Structure 1
Amino acid sequence: MQSNVTTLEVSKYIGAANELGRTSGLHVTMGDDFEEYVELTRRLPGKSPMYPSFRPDCSDLPPEKAFWIVGRDREGRVAHVQAMRLDYLSNTDLAEHLGSLKAWFASPKLKAGPGSSSRCNAPSARRISGLVAYHGDIWLRQDFRGRGLSTFIGRIAFGLAWAKWSPDFIYALVADWNIEKGVADRQGYLHREPHGSVLHLPSHGIDDDEWLVWVTRDELLDTISRNSAM
């Protein structure tokens, strides 16, 4: 670990998150084969189509750079999914990364399709750089909603991301309702700005204007330290 947070503290934090899910009836597994993930998530009821950022036909998703989390109910049926990927933005920043379409495509010119455009109008995105983890493709089955699992979703993802990468930032792009209902807050995101991703991908059926939410490395360390001591 490259910080003042010990391996034991991170293990406790992840363990507590896993227990929170388990008591709600979720058995969690983790993987890094995104071909498998696409198959697992293809027909989930009410789930939005997967963005190109987590599709192996569009993005570079080697095991050291990306992982997914799947929660199954007691009958073994998929009840929750989410995914994370790491981008190396040492020579650029998040605003440029989003605006260039490289957040979604390894080769935008080949994969984005005609009429595609992206811009980031969140001022703080210019200050987000280094090792930056993107948290997305979050889905929770209808019968598991209202059980306080937003906290679990953030904690399990943040803990595993820290254990694998120790990122400088973790961010997500979320719809208005996530902000209005406080979902992003409960997941652990401490900052928010509108128009973080104004994205048009006609060939992929995407036309969005989403908020940028994020947490810094120091804030994540503080969260892990406080919660592992409980």
Structure 2
Amino acid sequence: MKRVVNPLNVSRFLRGYDEAAAQKGIKLSIGFDFHKYVSITKALATKVPTYPTFRPDRSPIEKGDGYWMIGLDKNNEVVLVQAARLYDLSNSNFAEHLQSLRVFYGDPATQAHPQDRCSCTAPSAKKINGKVAYHGDFWLRKDFRGQGMPEIMAAVLRGVSFLMWAPDFVVGLPERWLLSKGVLAQYGHLHWEAGGSVLHLVEENIVADDLIAWLTGDELECLVNRDERSEVALCA
């Protein structure tokens, strides 16, 4: 379904969260050069390595199909990072995209290790198709945790993704501990299921068993236009 994006509504939505971050001493900015993003994330000692999903040497991102966000403190030191990219799954679905390894590699046939595997058993993943905005690579510095930053980070990415792409779905693959610690709720996901991605990438030394969480395009549009943050369910 084609959605009409009202830039003023998105601007008002983003401004509120940008100001909320500024009140915590964080300056947010958006970038599009993923070579630069990888160089930034490599320097973060406590962050797990960025998945090949957001590394242009393994999964090129066409201009306009991806962006990243960074937050700096008053000393211009990195406080947070996260990234987003768009997949055209008009002839596929997110479960198939995961299991084919195309979420991680531009050309799995030549780039994936023969023993690389990804299974997705979440039933709803097969229904996630069309224009799909994938949000991932979340990292927040320890001294800024417990201050509501996940809500701000998620909201900014949703607003920017809606403005750029007006996607049919916004999807992520959060770690299971985020659910038990209540962080998943802070992100404002309306839907989640287990079995999102059981992953083993041999050369990347990645082993994961992640949930899948998502919003529909209608829910995203309602969130941005109403700007009621945690009350997205009222739009249903």
> Which TM-score band applies after superposition, normalised by the shorter structure?
over 0.9
- Opposite residue 35 of structure 2, the aligned amino acid is E
Please name the residue that 1:32 is paired with. 32
Report if the CA contact (8 A) 1:174-1:212 is conserved: yes
1:151 paired to 2:151: yes
- Opposite residue 222 of structure 2, the aligned amino acid is D
SS in 2 for 1:203: coil
Structure 1 runs not aligned, ≥5 long: none
SS in 2 for 1:136: strand
Identity over aligned pairs, percent: 40
User: Offset at 1:222?
Assistant: 1.4
User: Offset at 1:228?
Assistant: 6.6
1:67-121: CA deviation from partner (whole Å, max 9, x where unpaired): 0000000110111000000000000011100110001100112112131011110
Map 1:64-143; keep pairs closer than 5 Å: 64-143=64-143
Please name the residue that 2:50 is paired with. 50
Report if the CA contact (8 A) 1:9-1:228 is conserved: no
TM-score, normalized by length of structure 2? 0.93
Please name the residue that 2:204 is paired with. 204
Tell me the C-alpha RMSD between the 2 structures. 1.5
1:189 paired to 2:189: yes
- Opposite residue 125 of structure 2, the aligned amino acid is A
Structure 2 runs not aligned, ≥5 long: 230-236
Report if the CA contact (8 A) 1:120-1:196 is conserved: yes
> CA–CA distance in 2 between the matches of 1:100 and 1:84?
20
> CA–CA distance in 2 between the matches of 1:201 and 1:228?
39
SS in 1 for 2:70: strand
> CA–CA distance in 2 between the matches of 1:3 and 1:110?
37
Please name the residue that 1:174 is paired with. 174
- Opposite residue 198 of structure 1, the aligned amino acid is V
Report if the CA contact (8 A) 2:5-2:162 is conserved: no
User: Offset at 1:185?
Assistant: 2.0
Stretches of 4+ aligned residues off by more than 3 angstroms: 2-5
- Cα pair distance change 1:11/1:228, threshold 3 Å: farther
1:106-153: CA deviation from partner (whole Å, max 9, x where unpaired): 011211213101111000011100000110001000111111111101
TM-score, normalized by length of structure 1? 0.96
Please name the residue that 1:224 is paired with. 224
> CA–CA distance in 2 between the matches of 1:78 and 1:217?
31
